[in-house]
Amino acid sequence: MSAESGLATFRGAGGLWEGYPVQQVATPEAWENDYKLVLKFYNWRRQQARVAQPNIAHKALVQLEERYLVDIITQNVDDLHERAGSTRVLHLHGELMKARSTIDPSHVVDLDGEDIHPGDNCPRGGQLRPHIVWFGEDVPNIIPAMEIVAQADIVLVIGTSMQVYPAASLVQAAVSARTIYAINPDMPDVLTSDSFVCIEKTACEALPDLVDSLL
């Protein structure tokens, strides 16, 4: 979804940022080794996300709310779904526009697009870090995501490589779904069985027509 708004996916870009493997700037170990570099990486991502705009695929999902109860479960950390107008968005891997304390995980603040600097602390004195689920960290929202998918009548699996777990396992929870659509121009083999209606197009190419048909 976000790639078509111009935001880097890193997996598709060789997994590099300024010559650094993404794992070197997106893990708890990276934070311990060089937290200033990690802040720089996420400040850069936040700047990119700030100027990006929701695309027609984001807007199509907003239209779907005219007749359906739509829950969006996203691996993306930007706020493009919210800015497009979707009202029920669950972020599996965190939110780029928020920060949280390193010593008090319950202390989460909105950044309004601003950077996080060394020395930006919570009231208890803990350095603020990106409110992001890093490689190797637990995914707190996976349980509510499973519950949402388990109740869904229709499931859209959009643009995922199906290589990142536990997010890739969500489709297995779709026990009540009468239809599961898979939308991807490079369809993963795991999504090509008879269980899925496969649409080998990008989100922007596929979603406007699919949403029209559902409405």
Residues that are catalytic? 93
Find the largest Cα–Cα distance for the chain.
Answer: 54
* Contacts with 124 (C-beta within 8 Å, 6 or more apart), sequence order: 101, 103, 104, 107
Q: How far apart are CA 74 and CA 90, in angstroms?
A: 6
Contact of 75 with 157, CB cutoff 8 Å: no
Cα 112 to Cα 11: distance, rounded to the nearest angstrom:
27
Report the phi/psi class of residue 124: left, alpha or beta, with left for phi > 0 and alpha for psi in -120 to 50: alpha
Euclidean distance between CA atoms 48 and 25, whole angstroms:
17
